[in-house]
Amino acid sequence: MARPKPAILLENVNQKTYKAEQVLVAESIYAVFYQEKPINLRTLSHLISYPGPKYKKVSFSNSGHAFNLAERLNKLFKTTDFAVYKLNIGTLCTEAED
């Protein structure tokens, strides 16, 4: 079965490279939480400090990616405390308030 075409809200095409940036409709955002609290996830090397820590995504517009990450983290840390939360609405904030 073919994947349904996404609904495009906005599109901008770079006239030099012909690459397009598209803003697509998403039903929700799915985020991985630990013990009912939002998290960040980073990887780093204990042997060398270069290139420094890399932060990984923990929120996705596709629920499958979030469930896969939660399952992988639960196995890695031998727990069941990682879970996926569906975020439909939020509080608007500005950079000055944060």
Is the pLDDT at 68 greater than 90? The verdict is yes
pLDDT score of 97: 81
Determine the Cα–Cα distance for residues 10 and 17; give it in Å rounded to an integer: 18
Q: What is the DSSP letter of 5?
A: P
Query: Which pLDDT does position 98 carry in this prediction?
Result: 67
Say how far residue 5 (Cα) sits from the centre of its chain.
21
> Which is nearest to 28 in space by CA: 93, 90, 86, 92?
86
N-to-C CA span, the chain = 44
Q: Is 43 a residue whose pLDDT tops 70?
A: yes
What is the pTM assigned to this prediction? 0.84
The per-residue pLDDT of the chain, averaged, comes to 94
For 15-68, the DSSP string reads: TTT--EEEEE--S-EEEEEETTEE--EEE--SS--SS--EEE--EESSHHHHHH
Residue 29's closest CA among 88, 93, 90?
88
